[in-house]
A = this chain, B = another copy of it.
Amino acid sequence: MSKAIFAEILKEKKLKITPQRIAILEELEKNGHSSVDDIFNGIKLKVPSVSLATVYKNILALQSVDILKSVKTPTHKQKYEINVKPHVHLFCKICENLEDFVINTQDFQEYCKKESGYYCIEEASVLLTGVCRNCAK
């Protein structure tokens, strides 16, 4: 995705197009799952004046219009990603890397809804913890 497309997305959501926001989105596009500090440090080159507070404010703003999603990991660091199609997270307990695995969870959700008696299930957040192929060596 290019700057222009990010600008488009922001416009659509009625958020002003600022260099900080573009930089945050570019950073998240480059590095799949980032913490606030990752983002802050990653964009300082592009937008040297940026403050941590602005990163925080924008993460909240972008989340509230569904451009971003937060990812909860077993460690205490909150991470963020650009909201794309449903996927599962694979977390390696050795290298602590987070990997995406695109899978349609619809059937699984449907099954859980039926069996549990829940009224409706809108979202499935799945985190699988184990050992990645690299760390297995």
A residues sitting closer than 8 Å to B (CB atoms) are 72, 74, 88, 90, 93, 99, 101, 103, 108-109, 112-113, 115-133, 135-136
Task: Work out how many copies of this chain go into the complex.
Answer: 2
State in angstroms the CA–CA spacing of A101 and B129 once bound together: 20
Question: Contact partner of A90 among B88, B101, B118, B135, CB < 8 A?
Answer: B118
State in angstroms the CA–CA spacing of A72 and B74 once bound together: 9
Q: Which residues of B contact A116 (CB under 8 A)?
A: 88, 90, 99, 101
Q: Which residues of B contact A121 (CB under 8 A)?
A: 90, 128-130
Q: Which residues of B contact A117 (CB under 8 A)?
A: 133
Please give the distance in Å from A13's CB to the nearest CB on chain B: 20
State in angstroms the CA–CA spacing of A72 and B133 once bound together: 26
State in angstroms the CA–CA spacing of A39 and B120 once bound together: 30
State in angstroms the CA–CA spacing of A120 and B134 once bound together: 11
> Besides the contacts A88-B112, A117-B133, A123-B128, what 5 more A-B pairs have beta carbons closer than 8 Å?
A90-B118, A119-B130, A119-B131, A122-B131, A124-B129
